[in-house]
Structure 1
Amino acid sequence: MASWGDVRRLALALPETTEREGEQPEWCVRGKGFVWDRPLRRADLAALGAAAPDGPVLGAWVADLGVKDALIADDPAVFFTTPHFDGFRAVLVRLDAIAAAELAEIVEGAWLARAPKRLAAAYLEVR
């Protein structure tokens, strides 16, 4: 089971990441958010019905809609979406259901999806 502390540690370990604090924290690379706390809203709860998780939800950018669809298809107990995110390159993650290693991959992938190309390339060269 992952926690917001895990998200914070993983995100801030990536180059040029900052944290925007507030009601819902968000982690950004050069001002572009890549992972964030995404509580479900009334419309989300109505759309999900009984399948709506009651634990913490992480929003995460993905490289493309194909990646999003694959994550949801491969592990719907962890990954999901709502109509609000239709056509949007982001996936929702049940934070209390994701394994630590998989969370690390999601956070890094989200960072790579939003980081400037040169910064991402430099990171990939040395990791």
Structure 2
Amino acid sequence: MADRPATVADVHEIAAGMPHVSRIEGSKAGNAVYQVGGKSFVFFRTPRSDAVDPDTGERYADVIVIWVESEADKLALTQDPASPFFTTSHFDGHPSVLIRQSRLGEIGLTELRELIQDAWLGRASKRRAERWLAGQSG
């Protein structure tokens, strides 16, 4: 089956489908935050002054934050200016990347699934991560 462009619904489905996940509303705006063991691994961010349209200065209202394993992973996703992934100075030293909902279609469902699963693995307890990984082989 061919890969298809990722969607916002896919973000919710994949994140919510991981084991031991809680979805909470992260702000008065009701933005979804997905957590495992009380640790966020994907969240929908409220508009902030550090992520703005360079032409209009308007705050992006559609930013999703996804945890990554390392600074090297973050750099690999954000260093190409054409990449839909980006970061801001607010996230310097923080193991996460940002992507706008409006640009999710620039990545495939397979890549999105891998990113979210890796985000979950990076935040889950060692035991939960090992149990989930063991269930994936075979």
Q: 1:7 aligns with which of 8, 11, 15?
A: 11
User: Which residue of structure 2 aligns with residue 92 of structure 1?
Assistant: 98
d(CA) in 1 for partners of 2:98, 2:56: 13
d(CA) in 2 for partners of 1:37, 1:18: 14
User: Which residue of structure 2 aligns with residue 37 of structure 1?
Assistant: 44
Name the TM-score, length of structure 1 as normaliser.
0.85
In structure 2, the CA distance between the partners of 1:21 and 1:55, relative to structure 1 (3 Å rule), is closer
Q: 1:20 aligns with which of 24, 44, 64?
A: 24
- Distance apart, 1:54 and its partner CA: 5.0
Q: Which runs of 5+ in 1 are unaligned?
A: none
Counterpart contact for 2:86–2:97, Cα < 8 Å: yes
Counterpart contact for 2:47–2:61, Cα < 8 Å: no
Name the TM-score, length of structure 2 as normaliser.
0.78
Q: Which has the higher helix share?
A: 1
Q: 1:61 aligns with which of 61, 67, 71?
A: 67
Deviates more, 1:114-123 or 1:2-11: 2-11
Paired-residue identity, %:
36
Deviates more, 1:97-106 or 1:61-70: 97-106
Q: Which runs of 5+ in 2 are unaligned?
A: none
Residue 78 in structure 1 maps to residue 87 in structure 2: no
d(CA) in 2 for partners of 1:95, 1:6: 11
In structure 2, the CA distance between the partners of 1:31 and 1:49, relative to structure 1 (3 Å rule), is same
- Distance apart, 1:28 and its partner CA: 0.5
User: Which residue of structure 2 aligns with residue 117 of structure 1?
Assistant: 126
Higher radius of gyration, 1 or 2: 2
In structure 2, the CA distance between the partners of 1:83 and 1:3, relative to structure 1 (3 Å rule), is same
Instruction: Number of aligned residue pairs: give it.
Output: 125
